[in-house]
Structure 1
């Protein structure tokens, strides 16, 4: 080990490195700390884990270490609240994607509903992300084969994409994430690829690895690390790519027991942890 090309004197330095699965949080069930079809996941300002506990019709919050904190339930709607994804704004406001009522539910961290929007446009929403550039809310509409864009106050701005296999077209889409430069990464589920757009909704490029450990058959969740690396949940694995689309590695192993992972989020640790 050197500093400024000069060897460090003294005894060897031992650096502990954690690689692979660190821990598992929760179990199957409906009690506190249990989950029934956990879909989307996000990290709030307190570094707590907020999970769309879809099968239990609720959001569930735990600490980063997995200690149960609280449950948020919404019962004011015509149909049962069914969260499939969640995004959290810079002011810690929660944007829950409720596909049963085809809407975005905006609430504070205690579960007080502020507003709802999207009912007039959304057909089958699956994924949600907030742009760090302008704060706009991006919703993937699986049934509409497009990405819909709203302000945080719920004003519908525009959509982009259509059904198909060409550039800028989708065949069922899932997760979405936006980089700090406004690049939009979309999991194009049935086309088995990630499509990338600029801040003006213009198609840039796609990436799909179709062999080896990086084989991406049905991408679902997607997260980005420092605009450099993209993490994708696909099939029964978690894949890591450079933001350019070059496959880096599979970060899980068969022994981890992943079964159709969906939501994914990154902590701000160095190195980051993948949830």
Structure 2
């Protein structure tokens, strides 16, 4: 290596590059640091990992190193709290999607409930995202085959989509993420594609990949990096895929030997080098750390 045609002192050097599976964290159970069907993950202002630990009826918070910090439990509802996704706003407010009670539970980082909303509209909520443009809350409703939009104060604004295979229509939508420019990316599960809309709910384009390492059969979780790359977890086959935001397939992040099974929600970290974390749910209940810039959650 040279600078201005002059050799750099000390060359050649060996630069270690972390790639692929790094480690696993956690196990199946109900104790601190254990999980039972974890469904989603987010990063709070302290860079801790917040997990929607569905069948343990709680949110669980651990450090980036995997050390337990606290659990948030909400026992004041008619049915047990069953979080299936979580989004955290810029002021560190938690928006938990409670599938059992068909509502969004808004709380602070200590578990104090601020408000709940969505009970009048939501049929089978699965995914939640917050727009960095206007702060609106987007919820995918698998029962209604649509995306519902609320203010952060819980006012219902509108919905878009209906059940079918056409453009702008859905069949069991799952994950949702919004770019810095307001573009909405939706994992259209049974239609086996990602659909993209503008900030006015107008359909822009779709993408998928049906061959090779990029095969997308049933997309579940979705995250976006700097409006440039989109990461998708898929079921059957279970995999983590990377696309350009235009829809062009880039690469598969995981490998067959990793044993990824039923991946669900995911989120990005700002580590250098970046990492990918996922959780396995009912059968193995472990978390796997990858070298890229995503946190992933697995379900079964």
TM category (shorter chain) comes to over 0.9
Quote the residue 2:29 is aligned against.
29
Distance in 1 (alpha carbons) for counterparts of 2:182 and 2:48: 26
1:51-130 equivalences under 5 Å are 51-130=51-130
Q: State the shift of 1:10 in Å.
A: 3.7
What is the TM-score with the length of structure 2 in the denominator? Answer: 0.89
1:185: Cα distance to partner? Answer: 0.3
CA–CA distance in 2 between the matches of 1:104 and 1:9? 58
Bigger mean CA offset, 2-11 vs 167-176: 2-11
Deviating above 6 A after TM superposition, structure 1's stretches of 4 or more consecutive aligned residues are none
Aligned to 2:201: 201
Relative to structure 1, the CA distance from residue 244 to residue 69 in structure 2 (aligned partners, 3 Å threshold; closer, same or farther) is same
Counterpart position of 1:184? 184
Name the residue aligned to 1:263: 265
Give the TM-score normalised by structure 1.
0.97
1:154-176 C-alpha deviation (Å, 9 max, x unpaired) = 01111111110010000110000
The 3-state SS of whatever aligns with 1:181 is: coil
Query: How many residues are treated as equivalent by the alignment?
Result: 275
Tell me the distance in 2 between the aligned counterparts of 1:241 and 1:159.
27
Paired with 1:5 and 1:268, the residues of 2 have a C-alpha distance of 34
Number of the residue aligned with 1:151 = 151
Secondary structure at 1:255's aligned position in 2? helix
Aligned-CA RMSD value: 1.2
Structure 1 CA distance for aligned equivalents of residues 132 and 82 of structure 2 = 26
Match of 1:224 in 2: 224
Change in CA separation of 1:88 and 1:4 when aligned onto 2, cut-off 3 Å: farther
Deviation at 1:8, TM superposition (A): 2.8
Query: Deviations along 1:39-76, whole A, 9 cap, x unmatched?
Result: 01001010100000001111000001111110100000
> What does residue range 126-141 of structure 1 map to in structure 2 within 5 Å?
126-141=126-141
Q: Distance in 1 between matches of 2:227 and 2:181?
A: 8
**Does the C-alpha gap of structure 1 residues 75 and 18 become closer, same or farther in structure 2, counting only changes over 3 Å?**
same
In structure 1, the gaps of 5 or more residues are none
Instruction: Please give the alpha-carbon distance, in whole angstroms, between the structure 2 residues aligned to 1:13 and 1:230.
Output: 33
SS in 1 for 2:25: coil
Partner SS, residue 39 of structure 2: strand
Unaligned runs of 5+ in 2: 276-293, 296-300
Equivalence for 1:248: 250
Q: SS of the counterpart of 2:12?
A: coil
Higher relative contact order (CA 8 A, sep 6+): 2
1:95 Cα deviation from its structure 2 partner = 0.2
For 1:54 and 1:60, how far apart are their aligned partners in 2? 10
Q: 1:107 to 1:169 in 2, by over 3 A?
A: same
The DSSP-based 3-state class of the residue aligned with 2:123 is coil
1:55 match: secondary structure:
helix
